[in-house]
Amino acid sequence: MIVSPSLLSADFGNLNRDIEMINRSEAEMLHLDVMDGVFVPNISFGFPVMKCIQKVSKKPLDVHLMIVEPQKFVNEVKDCGAHLMNVHYEACTHLNRVIQQIKAAGMKAGVTLNPATPVCMLRDILPDLDLVLLMSVNPGFGGQQFIHGTIKKVKELKELINETWSGAIIEVDGGVNLETGIQLRDAGADVLVAGNYIFKSPNPTEAIHLLHEL
Ligand code: DX5
Ligand code: ZN
């Protein structure tokens, strides 16, 4: 299983220490949650902080933009060293154009779905995507409870990916722990994002290892 720890649950007073821990771990990516207080009811961090993270992180940056009008910031996200840029389906009026802009900037393109958005909305864009991020909580905060209907959505998305000959992989974000992780693996998820499960664990490196082993 590919593991992408969410830095939102890290100790922001000790970011270097926490990013070094991830560098030494089996995590394949580092998940960065950007929030604007408009698309979601919370504000996290932005480009100046991400530029500092880029200097310390040895893992590819998996950037999850929970902001309105993400198409305005494709170049800024690229300049922060993002490997993957995730935009919300619900935030993009011209999703196809945004995806082409992300790819033209040299990043992998991902689309994120809120819990209430059905996977069928992605049918026509799926062949153009590298990744689909399914939210298993309502975005905005770490430490929320997993929404169980996500398991069925992962299965549906897997079928749709096969049907449309898409090469997209499936990432799930919110309330992921060992228990929900096993169910997500069985349903067909490829990447697990985890914040609280990793950073609130007495041994975060081991928590990453356990998810990775699923
Ligand atoms: C929520 C963020 C998540 C969050 C996950 O809006 O997108 O990445 O940090 O946190 P946990 O794993 O604690 O639910
Ligand atoms: Zn996220």
- How far, in Å, CA of 81 to CA of 75, rounded? 10
What does pLDDT average to in each consecutive run of 10 residues of the chain (214 residues)? 98 97 98 98 98 97 98 98 98 98 98 98 98 98 97 98 98 98 98 98 98 98
Closest CA to 61 of 100, 17, 107, 96: 107
pLDDT per position as a tens digit, 67-118: 999 999 999 999 999 999 999 999 999 999 999 999 999 999 999 999 999 9
Return d(Cα 185, Cα 183) in angstroms, integer. Answer: 5
Q: CB under 8 Å to 131, separation ≥6 — which residues?
A: 84, 86, 108, 109, 110, 111, 168, 169, 170, 171, 191
Which residue, judged by its Cα, is nearest atom 9 of ligand 1?
Answer: 142
Q: Which atom of ligand 1 is nearest to the CA of 64?
A: 7
Which pLDDT belongs to residue 17? 97
Q: How close are the terminal C-alpha atoms of the chain, in Å?
A: 6
Mean pLDDT for the chain overall? 98
Q: How far is the CA of 131 from the centre of ligand 1 (A)?
A: 17
Please give the pLDDT value at position 22.
Answer: 98
Atom of ligand 1 nearest to the CA of 140: 6
Q: Which residue's alpha carbon is at the smallest distance from atom 6 of ligand 1? A: 139
Q: Which atom of ligand 1 is nearest to the CA of 199?
A: 13
Distance between Cα 62 and ligand 1 center (Å): 13
Q: How many CB atoms lie within 10 A of CB 135?
A: 26
- Helices assigned H by DSSP within 46-137: 47-56, 74-79, 95-104
Catalytic residues: 33, 173
In this prediction, residue 86 carries a pLDDT of 98
What per-residue confidence (pLDDT) applies to 96?
Answer: 98
Q: Domains in the chain and their CATH numbers?
A: 2-212 (3.20.20.70)
For ligand 1, the distance from its centroid to the CA atom of residue 173, given in whole angstroms, is 6
Return the pLDDT at 30.
98
Q: 3 has which bridge partners? A: 192
Which residues contact ligand 1 via a Cβ below 6 A?
6, 8-9, 31, 33, 64, 137, 139-144, 173-176, 193-197
pTM of the model: 0.97
Taking the centre of ligand 1 as the mean of its atom positions, its distance from the CA of residue 9, in whole angstroms, is: 8
